[in-house]
Each structure stands twice: as structure tokens, then as C-alpha cells.
Amino acid sequence: MSECTHNCNTCGAKCSAPQTDNPHELSRIKRVVAVVSGKGGVGKSSVTAMLAGAMNKKGYRTAVLDADITGASIPKMYDVHGDVKSDGTGIFPLESKAGIKIISSNLLLENESDPIVWRGPIIAGMVKQFWTDVIWGDVDYMFVDCPPGTGDVPLTVFQSIKVDGIVVVTTPQSLVSMIVEKAVNMANMMKIPVLGIVENMSYVVCPDCGKRIDVFGSGKAVGEIAQKFSLPVLAEIPYDARLVEAADGGNMDSEQFDYIAPAADILESGLPIKSH
């Protein structure tokens, strides 16, 4: 038996297409956006936190499902700590100071620095539970922070959760941008709309003269991929000391980052409301 390609249009097997799971019966989630990257180290979690914060500031009820089980960083960015509570009904997410609901593997550990040494199926199972067993309540925008690559967990997210759109995060280097194409192709294979690309670490502004410096080049490779797939570049995020300080200090939901605003505007206008 050949391995499943997850593309039903080119498959001759007599199997049923995979069905997404329903969220908890007490969860009413209108839109789900997955934030992905072709490789690690491009600032995907920072972009997730900024997008959630931007939508929260627009007045939307916002949540983050941290699907990066072995590399969770979302709770620290929001200064959210403590034990996740549960009862016979389900699991309750914690909230940031601004009211962003969060679930993450780090919130389940006795010590946040303890490693999670699990194999793929167990990790995938936890991601499913974050969707099906957590009582999210009313959420306008849920952001799913996926681990990098196109492996088990992103596949689990796409097959288990009714994702309305994907934001791809990259940096300007040609090598990284080449890997972006894999993430875009995976999304197309799964028939999930790609909303656009966020170019992180795009440039530096000289503190003395204000000149823009393209540390990793002009981002030409990102533009070529965006053009090839007819995708917008949603935002160009520079190196910014405020961003580093906000992430390290757990203040990602209190800072306002104007350069993520175009992406937030597209999310606000470009996604239909659905009942998950």
C-alpha cells in the first residue's frame, strides 16, 4: 500500500477523506489561523504573539493554541505561568493580562525548563487534546503556533483542526525562502488557504541616521515566492529592541507594533466568520 499524499484529487484509493475534529462542546471558535514556517529560528512564535495581540487590541476575543509542544515559548511571551485547571467537563486555558486565552505544554509542566521527550504520536495526541478537550468559550480569532517544518504536528493541525487560513513566516535569506515553498506547497496540498507571508528580521533601522539597512539582503527571494504563488507579503518586521524586550519581559500583549498592522487588517477583512 502506497503512502498517503493527503491529496484526494490524485488518489485512487477507496478511503474516506480525513475529517477534522470538533472542538469542545463549550467552545465557539469563529476563525482559526495557523502560523507556520519552513524551518526554525525565523520568529514564528513572536509573529503569532504579535498577531494575537493586534487582534485583541482591535477588540476581538483572541486565543493562542501553542502546538509547538517541545519548543513552547508563547506563555513566557505573555508572562503566563501556573497550573492549568480541569474538571470533569474539560480543561480551562489561562489568560494573559489583556485577556488572550492560552494553552501550552509549558503550562502543564512542574518546571517550565523540563524537556518534553516524547515521540511524534504522543505529541500529536496532545495537540488534538488542546483542540477537543479545552473549554475555549467564545473566541473570534484563534492562532495556532505550529512547530517548524512539514512533519507530524503541522499535519495533525491541518487534519484535526478546521483551519481557515495559514500565515507563513520567513526571513529574507534565499536559503530560508526556498524552504518556505515547502510550507506553501503543503498548505495547498491540504487545501487550506495561504493568507500571505510575513517577512521577519527584514531590516534594521540605523539609530543614528534612520537609514534602512537590509542585513540579509533585499528580500528579493521572498518577493519571488510571493509572486509565484500570488500571495501578499503581509508585513516586513525589522529587528526591533522593543520586540525583544517585550518578548523577554512577557509584555507581548501590551506593546503596540505598527508593522504587524497590515497583516492584522487582512485577517480582519479576509476571513469569513465560521462556527467551529
Q: Per-residue pLDDT tens for 133-171?
A: 999 999 999 999 998 887 888 899 999 999 999 999 998
- What are the angstrom distances between the C-alpha of 99 and each of 49, 64, 82, 131? 13, 11, 16, 19
Instruction: Give the pLDDT band of residue 12 (cuts 50, 70, 90).
Output: low
Q: What are the tens digits of pLDDT across the range 184-237?
A: 989 999 899 999 999 999 889 888 898 888 887 766 778 888 888 899 999 999
Handedness of CA 261, 262, 266, 267 (dihedral sign): negative
All three cell numbers of 242, joined, read 522593543
Bridge-based pairing of strands 101-103 and 194-199 is: unpaired
- The amino acid present at 63, given as its one-letter code, is A
Q: Model pTM?
A: 0.88
DSSP conformational letter for 87: -
Residue located via cell numbers 515553498: 181
Q: Give the C-alpha separation, 105 to 112, whole Å.
A: 9
How many of the other CB atoms lie within 10 Å of CB of 266? 17
Q: Give the C-alpha separation, 172 to 57, whole Å.
A: 28
In the prediction, which pLDDT does 53 show? 95
DSSP conformational letter for 78: T
Is the pLDDT at 25 greater than 80? The verdict is yes
- What are the angstrom distances between the C-alpha of 195 and each of 42, 86, 113, 133, 168? 18, 34, 34, 28, 8
Is the pLDDT at 14 greater than 60? The verdict is no
All three cell numbers of 43, joined, read 520568529
In the prediction, which pLDDT does 272 show? 59
Contact 145, 161 (CB under 8 A): no
Q: Give the C-alpha separation, 14 to 93, whole Å.
A: 40
How many of the other CB atoms lie within 10 Å of CB of 209? 7
Of 6, 62, 4, which Cα lies nearest the Cα of 189? 6
Q: Give the C-alpha separation, 175 to 238, whole Å.
A: 19
